Structure 1
Amino acid sequence: MSHNLNSKLPVVRGVKQCSSILIILMILLSTFVLTGCTGSQKVNTEKTTETTSYQVTDTQGQILTLPRKPQRIVTLALSSDEMVLGMTQPEKMVALHYLADDPGISTIADQAGRVPARMREYEAERISSLKPDLIIAPDWNRAELIQTLRDLGLPVFVSKGPSSVVEVKQAIGEVAQAIGEEEAGKKMIAHMDKELADIAGQVKAIPPEKRQTLVLISHMAAYGGKGSLFDDLCTHAGVINGASASGLGKNEALSKEGIIKINPDLLLVPTWNGGKLDVNKVKTDLENDPALQTVKAIRSKRLVQLPDLYLYCASQDIVHAIRDIMYAAYPDIKGSGK
């Protein structure tokens, strides 16, 4: 019957069927449109994360409102440059420390070429000319400079200037919040924690009576004493920092007499030919100095050169310095593959 075109009943059914099909099509179309709209909203939300305003509080308690994720970042330290480039693209920075290109002292030399400007001296006028939308200043920067930059209406975020591994992680967390890359910051800290846990496990196996004493022959006249970042590295590496143990403060210079008194098992000597320093001459002079011939490190020829780009950094790559120090003091650990 349904195929009899002359019957009225089939016509009525056909109309109902057409109406039903039309309704179904409209529902399907509506579902597609709504799904499409939802998809568009999701895409737009992802895009607007770059343009959504947010507030951050710096290490000094200052609240900074940023209209979007910064696209023209300037930091006032090489360590902060390293942190930022560990979490975001070089294209979001407009300037780096002038040593950023030097692989002997910088951990970001391979990325530095993609950032246009360099700064040797941090001067307000020069920084302002770069038109930054965020300035990250470790709290060891001059207070007058930070205030001048703020007076110029520039957005300044003060982060922790690290003097310990814990403070390095604190600074990373602060910088990550400032640049809107909190997840990247968390991953970076998690990676550090994993490395530190592995090192701690190796250090735990070293008996206290076998702990080695070392002294850092620094690029800086007054660095490496009690309370310095290097002092904390030594603690994590399971070695005794001779300068700290002798009572030398973190801003006090180590004398030749001090080295003799400490009588270290190991001397760390520079590897980076920064400025006019001849690292090979430094090592040779120490080895041949008549006054130092009673020092254990000299007698056993344990003058070790570790990569200065890690030894002097205050960023996430500091874990490499800790491992390097541990292996230098306890080569058997490295040889055993523990």
Structure 2
Amino acid sequence: MAALSPIAAKAGPERVVSLNLCTDQLVLALLPPERIAALSFLAADPGLSAMADQVGSIPLVQGMAEEVLPLKPDLVLVGTYTTRPTVALLRARGVAVMEVGLVNDFDGIRAQIRSIAAALDVAARGEELIARMDATLAAAAPSADDTRRLRVLSLAPGAFTAGAGTLSDAVMRAAGLTNYAADKGLDGYGYLPVETVAADPPDLLIANSDEKGHPSLNGQMLTHPALSRAVPATARPTVPGKLWTCGGPFTADAVALLAAARNRLLSTRVSP
């Protein structure tokens, strides 16, 4: 995604706390550091957060109420599944809490950016993020007369994958690709046996282990010899999970990476 202009200080909540990886990243994209009282500890993990390099000296918390209350926040952003006892206690103490759900497509990302930007009183900044995201999506989209559809499969350890109705599915479709898991009938999240993939291999395979030096049997499945034979290394693009685990303006970068992989593969195939 193209570089954004510097964030200007505005009116609105002055001591914002985020307790969720997805809201962390949107808060970082929308607010200047002086208006952020704390983020979750996950925000600074470069393997998980697309905005980790923007955290700087912003305090990080584990998500416990005893960490948050002394910060005297005027708004706390949480996810639907953020520690419920903490959320309940903050509300009982009169702290303003905004719950933010998961998104499964780019319309959802746009709506979520606008909702959070409005709560933070930075609506113009939100529109700038959306415009940059949309420009990246437009640049990555196949031409209207290009109807070629390659199948792509994203596999996590244990053969976990994302089917129809998920953000991963929306990313794949935006790049002009067909989601292999959805094509196999999977709705939402689930598992695909290695045998199924090996017998009918996708055109592209994204194998995201994110194990950080801690190998597991589930992770080793991604290097199974049957998969290696079925999908060559040249058809295994790198699309970091941090770009599309949470929905945000950076998710368009996942589309751009997939579109580039699609175009590379198609360029090697002779048209009938």
Question: Which TM-score band applies after superposition, normalised by the shorter structure?
Answer: 0.7 to 0.9
User: Quick one: structure 1 residues 181 and 138, their matched pair in 2 at CA, closer, same or farther if it must change by over 3 Å?
Assistant: same
Cα distance in 1 for partners of 2:210, 2:50 equals 13
Question: What fraction of aligned residue pairs are identical, expressed as a percent?
Answer: 27
**2:159 counterpart of 1:250:** no
Shifted more, 229-238 versus 185-194: the winner is: 185-194
Cross-structure match for 2:175:
237
- 1:1-338 superposed matches below 5 A: 50=11, 69-119=12-62, 122-141=63-82, 145-200=86-141, 202-207=142-147, 210-218=148-156, 222-270=160-208, 272-274=210-212, 276-277=214-215, 282=220, 285-286=223-224, 289=225, 291-292=226-227, 295=230, 297-298=231-232, 301-331=234-264
Q: Runs of 4 or more off by more than 6 Å in structure 1?
A: 332-335
SS at match of 1:252: strand
Q: Larger Rg: 1 or 2?
A: 1
User: Quick one: structure 1 residues 248 and 183, their matched pair in 2 at CA, closer, same or farther if it must change by over 3 Å?
Assistant: same
Shift of 1:189: 1.2
Shifted more, 103-112 versus 243-252: the winner is: 103-112
Contact 2:155 2:222 in 1 (8 A): no
User: Quick one: structure 1 residues 284 and 220, their matched pair in 2 at CA, closer, same or farther if it must change by over 3 Å?
Assistant: closer
Cα distance in 1 for partners of 2:51, 2:39 equals 10
User: Quick one: structure 1 residues 148 and 326, their matched pair in 2 at CA, closer, same or farther if it must change by over 3 Å?
Assistant: same
User: Quick one: structure 1 residues 277 and 203, their matched pair in 2 at CA, closer, same or farther if it must change by over 3 Å?
Assistant: farther
Alignment TM-score, normalising by the size of structure 1:
0.67
Structure number with higher helix proportion: 1
Cα distance in 2 for partners of 1:324, 1:144 equals 39
Contact 1:271 1:308 in 2 (8 A): no
The one-letter amino acid of 2:239's match is L
Shift of 1:192: 1.6
User: Quick one: structure 1 residues 292 and 273, their matched pair in 2 at CA, closer, same or farther if it must change by over 3 Å?
Assistant: closer
User: Quick one: structure 1 residues 87 and 205, their matched pair in 2 at CA, closer, same or farther if it must change by over 3 Å?
Assistant: same
Q: CA RMSD in A?
A: 2.9
Shift of 1:164: 1.2
The one-letter amino acid of 1:310's match is L
Report how many residues are paired. 258
Contact 1:96 1:118 in 2 (8 A): yes
Alignment TM-score, normalising by the size of structure 2:
0.82
Cα distance in 1 for partners of 2:208, 2:14 equals 36
* Structure 1, gaps ≥5 residues long: 1-46, 51-68
Shift of 1:261: 4.8
* Structure 2, gaps ≥5 residues long: 1-8
